[in-house]
Amino acid sequence: MDNKTTIIALCGKGGVGKTSISAIIVKLLAQAHPDKKILAIDADPAVGLATALGADVTSTVDDIRKSFVTTVEDGNAGAAIELLGEAKYQMMDALVEMDNVSFLAIGRPESAGCYCKVNAYLKEIISMIASNFDYIVIDGEAGIEQVNRRVMEKVTHLILVSDASRKGLSVVQTICNVAKELVMFEKTGVIVNRMPDMSLADTLDTGDLPLLAVIPDDRGMSLNDMKGESVFALDENSAILKGVEKALLEIGIK
């Protein structure tokens, strides 16, 4: 991986607005660096990042994996080897291009017919493609395991997203502890999203994790989600936009 590539992975328990924040990071980077290449990777099986960015997904990494597995199960080993050789080109075809942003969906988690060597090879191709970009934003599942297993083992910035609940804050601390074993990262921190009362921000306990930003419940973001609009339609003065901007500065991403 090119040392100049900034790789940002976001994790946190479900329902805390992680996908919206991932999409806003992509938006902010795209606007601040129109001359840079940005790759958004949706590693969450729900593929919510595609909607948040307005990306029209026709193929996922899992589709490529399944086509290989099906060919092997049908007994056609020669065709399977040929298909795996074409995986890089299929992956390039799966990229959705939007100005200086490219989008890649990982797809559903592995099911029956999981081939570890195939997964490792596809992850290698993702890393190969990723090295052509200046910024990579990965919207991960609740934990960090899937990012490690299906996308890449090294990120520069691990951003943990939580709500203000003690359970949510406990979950992100657990994820960080697991991440130390599974994923190499240089910097980490927490964004507390959907804070019901900003006057209580000082009472939040994030343990040893730096608190990057506290974002109030943003009605504009909720309406945006309800309408199925991309984050590019968000009001530039929205609380979530300003909060994410602050978090990026705090963690050293400009």
Per-residue pLDDT, 6 = 97
Structural domain harbouring 182: 6-250
What's the CATH code of the domain at 55? 3.40.50.300
In the chain, how many domains are there?
1
- For 22-41, the pLDDT digits (tens) are 999 999 999 999 999 999 99
Evaluate whether residue 245 is within a structural domain: yes
Amino acid (one-letter) located at 217 = D
Evaluate whether residue 202 is within a structural domain: yes
Please check the confidence at residue 1 and state whether its pLDDT lies above 80.
no
Q: Average pLDDT for residues 88-105, to the nearest whole number?
A: 93
- For 107-127, the pLDDT digits (tens) are 876 655 555 677 788 888 999
Evaluate whether residue 1 is within a structural domain: no
Amino acid (one-letter) located at 248 = L
Evaluate whether residue 44 is within a structural domain: yes
Evaluate whether residue 102 is within a structural domain: yes
Evaluate whether residue 75 is within a structural domain: yes
Evaluate whether residue 117 is within a structural domain: yes
Residue 101 β-bridge partners? 38, 98
- For 160-169, the pLDDT digits (tens) are 999 999 999 9
Threshold 0.85, pTM exceeds: yes
Evaluate whether residue 19 is within a structural domain: yes
